[in-house]
Structures are given as C-alpha cells and as structure tokens.
A and B are shown apart, each in its own frame.
Chain A
Amino acid sequence: MLKSTRNALLGATLLGLTFAGQAYAETTLNALFMAQAAYSEADVRAMTEAFTKANPDLKVNLEFVPYEGLHDKTVLAQGSGGGYDVVLFDVIWPAEYASNKVLVDVTDRVTDEMNKGILPGAWTTVEYDGKRYGMPWILDTKYLFYNKEILEKAGIKTPPKTWDELAEQAKTIKDKGILQTPIAWSWSQAEAAICDYTTLVSAYGGKFLDGGKPAFTSGGGLDALNYMVTSYTSGLTNPNSKEFLEEDVRKVFQNGEAAFALNWTYMYNLANDPKESKVAGKVGVVPAPGVAGKSEVSAVNGSMGLGITATSKHPEEAWKYIVHMTSQETQNAYAKLSLPIWASSYEDASVTKGQEELIAAAKLGLAAMYPRPTTPKYQELSTALQQAIQEALLGQTSPEDALKTAAENSGL
C-alpha cells in the first residue's frame, strides 16, 4: 500500500512539473491597476494589447481594483511574498514603499530622453530621497469645474479666481433660487477628502509638516479646514459631500445639480459627453482658485506612477512594459482621459484639439501642484486627517481641536 502511495505521489509530482514547464515557456507579468478614473479599464487593456502584440513572448495579466484597494492589495501581496510585477501607485506612497522595500529603485534605468522630455513636476510623483521608484503615468490635479449655463443664469460673467469669490458666487446662485446647494466636493472619510483639503491648504499657503512634525494645526492648514466647515454650514455646499467620492461628485455635476465641483481631469471629457451627461457642452474648467495675497491658483499633486515590485522575478520585462505604457505615443493616444507627462505633447494639435480649455487650465494647475506630505507614515497621517475633517464638518469638534487631535494621532 505504501508503495502505491509513493508511486501516486511521484506521478502527481511529475505531472505538476510538466504543467509548470509549459506555463513558463513564455513570461507572464502580473500587473495591478485601478478600476476607476483617468484611463478606463478598456483603455488599459487596449494599451496592453498593443504591447503584447509587439512582444509576443510576453503575457500581461491585468488586475483592476478600486483606488481604495490599491495600496492595501500591493502591501498585502508584498507581505506574502509578492504576486505582482508591476503596480500602479499613488504619489503619496513612494516614501512608504521605498522605506519598506516594496518598489525597485529605477533611477539608473531612466534614459536621457525621458529625463529631458517629461515634465519636471511629473517626476516628483515617483521620487523619494533623491531616487526614482517608477515612471509617472497619470498626471493629475484637481480642477474647478463649473456649469456655464447656471453661472450665466445667475448673471455671473467669469468663474471665480479666489475661494472667497467662489463662496460669493455660490451664494448668488443659492439666493436666486437656481440651486439649493451649488458646490459639490468629495469629502467622504477617504483619501479624496485629503485631496480637496490639500488643494485648499496650498491656496492658503499652509504647510503639512515642519521638520517632520505636524504643522497643519495653525495657519494655512487651519484656514483650509475653516473654509470647508464654513462652506458646509452656510449651506453653499451639498451636505452629501461628506459621503461623496469623486464619482458621486461627477454624477451630481453632470446631472446639473452642482454649479461648482472640484474634481480630477477625467471628469472634463465625461461630463462633456452627451451620452453620459445632461450638461454636455456647458462644462467649464479653470484651475482651483487662490487666496487674495497668498496664491493665484491652487492644486494638489494627484499623479500616479507605475513601478516594479521588489519581489518581481521579471524586472527587465516589467520595465519594458512600463516604458511602453508611459511612452509619448501611448500617452498622446489616450490624452482625452489623462493629460500626457511629456512636455512637447502640449504643442501637439492632436492632443489639444477639443480640450483647449482643459489644457489652458492644466498649464496653470500642473505648475502649481502641491504635494501631500512625503512621509513613510502617510497612511496614518491621512487617516487621522480624514477623521478630523469629518468631525469638524459634523460639528463634533472645532476645526482647531480636530486638527490638534489629528496631529496627535498622526504617528509623527
């Protein structure tokens, strides 16, 4: 009996080996992407198909998760010995990923052509401590979108240049009875709220950290939260903003239920698409406003990059894939949902055509992009700030106390 068991085991092992042998005849890369915003899933599949067509010996398995799952999924895979070769990462994670050796340092792989051709601001997305941990892929910041028809109805000639002006214009719209709550934000207890907050912090000239210690409890950091709370309590902001993510903001805006909305690039072409939107053709876009005497415009760096994981067994092939995905050719072809990282693309008529307004806003916005704090403890800091924002909005504590608690809970 023992002998037959041993034979069976041996047989099974041999069978396993045969299968393994077949599976490794070609190289398969596993890549983790995001299932929303910027490039759509179909776009990423199309870009990848172009790559595998040119490289028939390579296969790419694509996995899409919502933004909220991207970080944890990457870290979990890493903690259990890997699984992905290429991962999409947000601008806030390189510090943490670099300190914990999640991503490979690719500084030496970057060519001169990339160095010169890619916008300097885009590089900040993938850098930590003077090294590069991937290639920028989605160049993004939040813009102020406005409904031209509503502004016209309210007799407003130009979109707001400052945040105070935004509040005044929203009040006019409310007072004239055009919309009850003219402004929509994404203030759900999630990273989205931090992006809106950061935009305001940059407008008020605030700072997150000073010498590694929290510095948002006073000055610009406090002004920013005060603005949010006032906008909320005065009824100018859609009260449901505190459970909105970006997609909710887009739905409200394209249903014509918001005069103003803060959102990423991707909303521009979707809200102008008659199949998607009731306000197609009436969508205006400008950089997020500034604050008199402090800033002209404001912007948050919401870019994302593609990197090679430290556990990848195929770093060469992974890099090849990343180079394809970030190439000027690929980026220009899909510029309707995410603006290219390449400087000269902005002179290319095929990229700018039909979205001149967005490009004009991007030139100012991208230049003003403000980073969220670069710290390996970012995730903790962000969670503490999300809580602070919600507590202040709900009136559970004052903005001052909420931010003080956030500073204490930030782990810094």
Chain B
Amino acid sequence: MSGTWISTRAWLLMLPLLVVMVSVIGWPLVDTVRLSFTDAKLVGTAGSFVGIDNYAKVLTGSNFQRALVTTTWFAVVSVAAEMVLGVLAALLLNQQFRGRTALRALMILPWALPTVVNATLWRLIYNPEYGALNAALTQLGLIDSYRSWLGEPGSALTALIVADCWKNFPLVALIALAALQAVPRDITAAALVDGAGPLNRFRFVVMPYLAGPLLVALVLRTIEAFKVFDIIWVMTRGGPANSTRTLSILVYQEAFSFQRAGSGASLALIVTLLVTVLAVAYAALLRRAAGAS
C-alpha cells in the first residue's frame, strides 16, 4: 500500500520534468516523423503526404551513401586517434614532474574553446598562402612548396580529423587521468616488486581501472563524431568537391539551404536511428564491462 503511494508520489514529483521532456523532445520528434512523410517546404506550403518517397530517395541517392562513408571514416579515425592520444597524454600527466599543473590546465584549453573558434584557428594554420603548417613543414624540409591542405580532396578530410582530434583528445585525457589517479599506489608498487615491466604493468594493473571510464569516453566521442557539423561547416562547408560532406552537412543543406523540410526530416531521422543503434550497442558493451568488473 505504502509502496504504491511512494511510486505515485515519485511520478507526481517527476511530472513537471516529464511535461518538459515531452514538449521539448517528444513533440518535435513526432512532428519530425510526420514531416518526413510529406513534401513540406521550410517556409510557405505545409506539404502533402508522400508516403516513404523521401526515405526511398535519400537511401538510394549517391549523396547519402557517400556522406555515410565520409562520416564513418571521420568518426572511426578521429575517435581512435583521440583515444590513443588521450591515454598517452593522461599517462604523461600522471607522472611527477615540474610544471605538471600548468600543463594540465593548458591541455584543457583546446577542449574549452568554442568549436567555431577552434575551426577558424585551424583554417588559418592550414591557409595555403601564409599558414603556419606550410611554413613549418617547409622549414623542416618536409615539403618543397606550399600545399593547399583544405583544397585537395585527398588531404581535406585528414586535415579536418587533425583539427577535431586537437580539440577533443583533452576530454579523453581528462577522463583517463581521473581514472589513473584512482589506481592504488600499493598495487603498482607490488607489481613493480614482482618484476612486471612497464607494458605488463599497464596491461594488467592500470588497464582494468581505465577500461570503464575509457568506454564512457568512447561512447561520448563516437556519437559526437558521428554528428559532426560545425568544425566542417566553418572549415570547408563540405568541399572540395564534396569530399568532406558528412551526414549532418547533408541534412543541413537539404532542410535549410534547399528548404526541403520533408526530405531533410527523413534524412535527420535516418541519422538519428544510426546514432541510436550505436548508442544501444555501446550501452550493451558498458553493461557487460560493468558486469565483468
């Protein structure tokens, strides 16, 4: 009896939150689903029902397929690099040395910068006429003439991945550093006494503490990377020759530049579905990891 009361009260207390959630997430989602079955424009006509036309066109179109490949490549490479760099940075910052506190604070900076500032900064670094990258590489004798990093389809995506890594590896490093500091010193000391080398100490002593938090970082970063928009929009707008057009850029162009709200909505829902699948897969992984430890 009292149990029912408690759960009723719990629901009552949650009601304001539920109302807010339903109105800011639920309703727009339902409306997006409705839109995706119409040929509505962004302004003007409300649009009429067209069934699954939008989905059929989007899924069979070469634009979508190419953007999916570009996005996947971007996400996989940038997240992998961010994880490796993040862990290495955390291991370094976990050592005792002078200036460690200053370095820790400094490392957060790229992550704390707004993405647009970060993107503008990197566009300057990559500038083909007077960018710092060209100057540095020429002085080191690695290239003999200035190159157009964002103007070549071969290098544009890689250049974007580097910029994205620079911004986001500090987050991974931060999470990893927190985990590292939870490793009990007596265990590492014991491993040292037992004669475990640095690699083995990392693999068998440190890694179990790192795995959980790193998985969380991996989930966050993969989902973010899959939705990447602003850094690309500022640096290349999807060019050159659409070589950096990711799914989010495609959604933006379809819905807002071309004002086809209907097919833009269907595209957005497909992207949402893909991200959800990823999130669910990761959640299962997380549960398994939690169960294991």
- Given A78-B43, A100-B41, A102-B43, are A242 and B151 also a contact pair (CB < 8 Å)? yes
Q: Which of B43, B130, B241 contacts A387 (CB 8 A)?
A: B241
A30 touches B (CB below 8 Å): no
The residue on A at minimum CB distance from B126 is: A243
- Given A72-B257, A383-B257, are A79 and B237 also a contact pair (CB < 8 Å)? no
Shortest Cβ distance from residue B246 to the other chain A in the assembled complex, whole angstroms? 14
Which residues on the A side are within 8 Å of B258 (C-beta)?
377, 379-380, 383, 411
A154 touches B (CB below 8 Å): no
When the two chains form their complex, are residues B257 and A386 in contact, meaning their CB atoms are under 8 A apart? no
The residue on B at minimum CB distance from A240 is: B128
B110 touches A (CB below 8 Å): no
Which residues on the B side are within 8 Å of A79 (C-beta)?
42-43, 261
When the two chains form their complex, are residues B41 and A390 in contact, meaning their CB atoms are under 8 A apart? no
Shortest Cβ distance from residue B34 to the other chain A in the assembled complex, whole angstroms? 16
Which residues on the A side are within 8 Å of B128 (C-beta)?
240, 243
B129 touches A (CB below 8 Å): yes
A223 touches B (CB below 8 Å): no
Which residues of A, 217-260, contact B by the 8 Å Cβ criterion?
Answer: 239-240, 242-243, 248, 251-252, 255, 257
A17 touches B (CB below 8 Å): no
The residue on B at minimum CB distance from A311 is: B43
Which residues on the B side are within 8 Å of A257 (C-beta)?
129
Q: Which of B44, B146, B240, B257 contacts A243 (CB 8 A)?
A: B240
When the two chains form their complex, are residues B148 and A101 in contact, meaning their CB atoms are under 8 A apart? no
How far is it, in angstroms, between the C-alpha of A255 and the C-alpha of B130 when the chains are bound?
11
Which residues on the A side are within 8 Å of B129 (C-beta)?
240, 248, 251-252, 255, 257
Which residues on the B side are within 8 Å of A99 (C-beta)?
44
Q: Which of A72, A251, A394 contacts B256 (CB 8 A)?
A: A72
B238 touches A (CB below 8 Å): yes
**What does the 1/0 interface line of B13-49 toward A look like (CB < 8 Å)?**
0000000000000000000000000000111100000
Q: List 5 A-B contacts (CB under 8 A).
A: A100-B43, A100-B259, A189-B239, A189-B242, A240-B151
Known: A76-B42, A190-B239, A383-B253. 13 other contacts (CB 8 A): A68-B237, A75-B42, A75-B256, A100-B41, A100-B42, A240-B128, A240-B129, A240-B151, A242-B240, A243-B236, A243-B240, A251-B129, A390-B240
> Which residues of A come within 8 Å of B, CB atoms?
68, 71-72, 75-76, 78-79, 96, 99-102, 188-190, 239-240, 242-243, 248, 251-252, 255, 257, 377, 379-380, 383, 386-387, 390-391, 394, 396, 411
> Which residues of B come within 8 Å of A, CB atoms?
41-44, 128-130, 146, 148, 150-153, 236-242, 253, 256-259, 261
